[in-house]
């Protein structure tokens, strides 16, 4: 097609392109859940959580000295199995239940050395009481129950909506968790 005809064709079609833009073409908007910058565990580096907008998330509050601390293995296994397909695992250490190290270097040692965690762990913060971490404040605003103990897990879809909440006793690799993750990863 000659350039002049292409120009006129585009001019004629332009009004129709403004009528409806498919959702997948819209730029990602940062949901309130991720609208914060937080420090990585035992680091001076901060990370803008908005970079995870549009991705399915598994959010979990953790502790180094809890009967459920062994769940780090299952969380890491989920991370390794599903990261390439888009799942982001975010760990939030907390001492709200008096089972976390006071020294972040000790928390980091438990996570990174003892359990080989490679998913993103953020600095220690409050998840259930007091001055809540912004992510947990947003979870509460979405209608999620705040953690009643360590290793409470939340699944968030690509639109930043809560789709699942799992108590501490639910193992990360349980059939119900994996089934819900599979559903999340198939959503457009």
The whole-model pTM stands at 0.84
- pLDDT tens, per residue, the chain with 188 residues: 554 544 444 444 444 444 433 343 344 589 999 999 999 999 999 999 999 999 999 999 999 999 999 999 999 999 999 999 999 999 999 999 999 988 999 999 999 999 999 999 999 999 999 999 999 999 999 999 999 999 999 999 999 999 999 999 999 999 999 999 999 998 76
Q: Is residue 69 part of a domain?
A: yes
Active site residues: 66
Q: Left if phi > 0, otherwise alpha if psi is -120 to 50, otherwise beta: which for 54?
A: left
Q: Is residue 159 part of a domain?
A: yes
Q: Is residue 38 part of a domain?
A: yes
Q: Is residue 57 part of a domain?
A: yes
Q: Provide the residue range defining the domain that includes 40.
A: 30-186
Residue 124's domain is classified under what CATH number? Answer: 3.40.30.10
Q: How many CB atoms lie within 10 A of CB 77?
A: 12
Domain count for the chain, please give it: 1
Per-residue pLDDT of 62-71, as tens digits, reads 999 999 999 9
């Amino acid at each position: 097609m000659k350039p002049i005809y292409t120009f006129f064709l585009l001019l004629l079609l332009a009004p129709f392109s403004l009528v409806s833009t498919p959702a997948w073409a819209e730029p990602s908007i940062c949901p309130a859940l991720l609208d914060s910058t937080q420090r990585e565990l035992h680091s001076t580096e901060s990370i803008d959580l908005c970079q995870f907008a549009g991705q399915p998330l598994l959010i979990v509050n953790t502790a180094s000295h809890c009967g459920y601390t062994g769940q780090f293995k299952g969380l890491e296994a989920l991370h390794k199995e599903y990261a390439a397909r888009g799942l982001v695992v975010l760990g939030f250490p907390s001492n709200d239940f008096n089972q976390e190290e006071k020294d972040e270097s000790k928390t980091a040692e438990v996570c990174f050395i003892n359990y080989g965690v490679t998913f993103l762990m953020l600095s220690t913060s409050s998840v259930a009481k007091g001055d809540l971490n912004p992510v947990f404040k947003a979870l509460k605003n979405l209608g999620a129950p705040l953690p009643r103990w360590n290793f409470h897990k939340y699944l968030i879809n690509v639109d930043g909506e809560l789709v699942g909440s799992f108590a501490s006793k639910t193992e990360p690799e349980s059939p119900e968790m994996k089934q819900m993750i599979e559903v999340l990863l198939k959503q457009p």
